[in-house]
Amino acid sequence: MKNNILKTAIATLFLLTSTSMFSKALNAKFSYAINCRTVTLVDSSSGTVSIDRYLWDFGDGSYGYTGSNTHQFKSNGTYRVLLVIFTNDSSQGDYNDSAELQITINCNDCDIQAYFGYQPDLLKYNKIKFENMTLAPGHYNSTWDFGYTGNGGSSLKNPVHTFPSAGYFYVKLRVSYYDSLAAKNCYDSITQIIMTKKLFARFTYSVDSVNCRTVTFHDSTKYRIDSVEWQFGDGNYGSGRNITHTYPGNNMYFMMQWVHYYDSALGRKNIDTVMQYIDLRGCNLCLVKAAIQLDGDSTKPFSGTLYNYSSGNITKHHWDFGDGGTSTQVAPVHTYAGPGRYTITYVATDTIKNCSDTDRVSFKIDSLGYLKRKAFTLTVVDRTTDVKKIVLKSDEAFKVYPNPAQQYLKVLSAVNTYVTIYNVLGEIVSSANLIAGEEQSIDVSNWANGLYFIRTNQGQSLKFLVE
């Protein structure tokens, strides 16, 4: 990936003569612009005498001899670039001045970006499973360095490694592939600090299906522990391996868990903590969707059928037939006294979350004029249970597809939920309300290519790529 970085700097001046009377005769100065490993050096030197010669020291063992210069660095690194200007003005003698800047080249001009995640084993504290999440156009090779002498490394894509002890280790992943179009080897690397520890705090949580502000936390620490403490993120605290807490509002809360264990063999107390955001911003958002459709039948001029395709947790129905008549039945029958224009309004309500949605349909009763003498009967057919649902597998809480996504990402949940999507920087890029079994599409066509994470307000999460 090519990066374009524009940097402008005023060079520090170095006087290379001991003759103070000529201290302002020359003023060396330059700026630069970086395009991957190609650096454009723009001379902006000035003086009261003519500049007759230039000398550039690029800091990588090569030199230049003209005013402005373009230089190609062969590798990433930090270079001290020096510009020296000279005059041959006979009245001044051989006089010079210099300017120096430090330029950092950090360019991956290949379409590959190294990245990895890791997960400790639930039973063995120093056993770590690594997940290679490198972004590359095709097959690539992986080389792992686990950060201590005699570790052996690995060339597997997703290795599992057992570290020798508890502690900190600098784990490096180097990935490479051959770019046939550019006819060169491309590579990238990333180093992360991995901490192995005997006590590893962890927990899961579930949101109450009726009151979505009530959350039950379950300690899932596998190592033997003596006590568990919780900070719920709203100013309240609790203790116990499993605990239920009701939050005051629809916000994000910074939840913390502490686990304690006294190691009698070592005579000391081990403590570990884990932190996680509890996202309740989707709590009590209305997941009811009203949808009605009128179907006329030319063979039955005095009657019509209205289909109700509404979805969600509908516990209350309200019909306004546009002629003064109303109903709260699921599937009422209504008779219009004569011709005219009418608008039917239907309101679907979730009384548990106290929210509703509305749909309307307008029509005209006028068939050969005899509707003036005869009534027109409208029958409502309940199709709320016929809305097509997609059933997930028993081990799936929700899923996203296709992965990688290009134009649209489709999201499907087994239950009504609220999802939030984050990029690798932890920034929220999108959110959505999901109705159980109903597929929803999210437009990702303008998103930056890379790795994203999607999380439900029940605590489940998945990752996906956008290309």
pLDDT of residue 239: 93
pLDDT of residue 425: 72
pLDDT of residue 369: 31
- Note whether residue 354 is domain-resident: yes
**3-class DSSP string for the chain:** CCCEEEECCCCEEEECCCCHHHCCCEECCEEEEEECCEEEEEECCEECCCCCEEEEECCCCCEECCCCEEEECCCCEEEEEEEEEEECCCCCCCEEEEEEEEEEECCCCCCCECCEEEEECCCCCCEEEEEECCECCCCCEEEEECCCCCCCCECCCCCEEECCCCEEEEEEEEEEEEECCCCEEEEEEEEEEEEECCCCCCEEEEECCCCCCEEEEEECCCCCCCEEEEECCCCCEEECCEEEEECCCCCEEEEEEEEEEEECCCCEEEEEEEEEEEECCCCCCCCCECCEEEEECCCCCCEEEEEECCECCCCEEEEECCCCCEECCCCCEEEECCCEEEEEEEEEEECCCCEEEEEEEEEEECCCCHHHCCCEEEEEEECCCCCCCCCCCCCCCEEEECCCECCEEEEEECCCEEEEEEECCCCEEEEEEECCCCCEEEECCCCCCEEEEEEECCCCEEEEEEC
- State the burial class of residue 31 (Cβ atoms within 10 Å of its Cβ: 0-12, 13-18, 19+): middle
pLDDT at 338 over 90: no
Q: Locate tokens 């079994």: which residue? A: 437
Q: Residue 217's pLDDT band (boundaries 50, 70, 90)?
A: very high
Q: 304-320, pLDDT tens digit by residue?
A: 788 888 887 788 999 99
Statement to judge: residues 135 and 216 lie in one domain: no
Q: Which pair of tokens denotes residue 351?
A: 């009384």
Are the CB atoms for 140 and 72 separated by under 8 Å? no
Q: 53-102, pLDDT tens digit by residue?
A: 899 999 988 888 888 888 988 777 889 999 999 888 766 655 788 899 99
pLDDT of residue 91: 66
Statement to judge: residues 407 and 361 lie in one domain: no
- Note whether residue 417 is domain-resident: yes
Statement to judge: residues 360 and 434 lie in one domain: no
Give the other-Cβ count within 10 Å of 259's Cβ.
Answer: 23
Q: 189-206, pLDDT tens digit by residue?
A: 888 888 776 666 888 888
Q: Give me the mean pLDDT over the 332-355 stretch.
A: 85
Residues 6+ apart with CB under 8 A from 369: none
pLDDT of residue 106: 78
Q: Which of 44, 75, 105 is the last residue of a domain?
A: 105
- Note whether residue 111 is domain-resident: no
The Cβ-side half-sphere exposure at 383, using a 13 Å CA radius, reads 16
Statement to judge: residues 90 and 11 lie in one domain: yes
The Cβ-side half-sphere exposure at 202, using a 13 Å CA radius, reads 16
Statement to judge: residues 152 and 244 lie in one domain: no
pLDDT of residue 3: 37
- Note whether residue 390 is domain-resident: no
Statement to judge: residues 232 and 161 lie in one domain: no
Statement to judge: residues 232 and 256 lie in one domain: yes
Strand partners, 289: 311
- State the burial class of residue 4 (Cβ atoms within 10 Å of its Cβ: 0-12, 13-18, 19+): exposed
Average pLDDT over all residues of the chain = 79
- Note whether residue 237 is domain-resident: yes
pLDDT of residue 373: 40
**What predicted TM-score, i.e. pTM, was given to this entire model?**
0.35
Range of the domain at 170: 116-196
Are the CB atoms for 289 and 346 separated by under 8 Å? no
Q: 415-445, pLDDT tens digit by residue?
A: 777 888 888 777 788 888 787 778 888 888 8
Statement to judge: residues 214 and 134 lie in one domain: no
Statement to judge: residues 312 and 405 lie in one domain: no
| CA distance linking residue 164 with residue 241, whole number of Å | 30
Statement to judge: residues 26 and 101 lie in one domain: yes
pLDDT at 245 over 90: yes
Q: 260-318, pLDDT tens digit by residue?
A: 887 676 566 777 788 888 888 777 666 788 888 887 655 566 677 888 888 877 889 99
Q: Which of 350, 382, 414 is the last residue of a domain?
A: 382
- Note whether residue 110 is domain-resident: no
Sheet-wide strand order for 38-43: 4-7, 30-35, 38-43, 69-72
- Note whether residue 92 is domain-resident: yes
Q: 151-182, pLDDT tens digit by residue?
A: 779 999 999 999 887 777 889 999 998 877 66
Statement to judge: residues 298 and 273 lie in one domain: no
End-to-end CA distance of the chain: 14
| CA distance linking residue 467 with residue 87, whole number of Å | 55
Q: Please tell me which residue, 259 or 8, carries the higher pLDDT value.
A: 259
Strand partners, 118: 130
pLDDT of residue 187: 84
| CA distance linking residue 311 with residue 320, whole number of Å | 19
pLDDT at 27 over 70: yes
- Note whether residue 392 is domain-resident: no
Q: Please tell me which residue, 346 or 179, carries the higher pLDDT value.
A: 346
Q: Locate tokens 């800047």: which residue? A: 101
How many Å separate Cα 163 from the centre of its chain? Answer: 31
CATH no. for residue 214? 2.60.40.10
Statement to judge: residues 366 and 417 lie in one domain: no
Task: Compute, in degrees rounded to 10, the torsion defined by CA atoms 329, 335, 339, 344.
Answer: 0
Q: Residue 384's pLDDT band (boundaries 50, 70, 90)?
A: low
pLDDT of residue 467: 84
Q: Which of 151, 176, 196 is the last residue of a domain?
A: 196
Domain count, the chain: 5
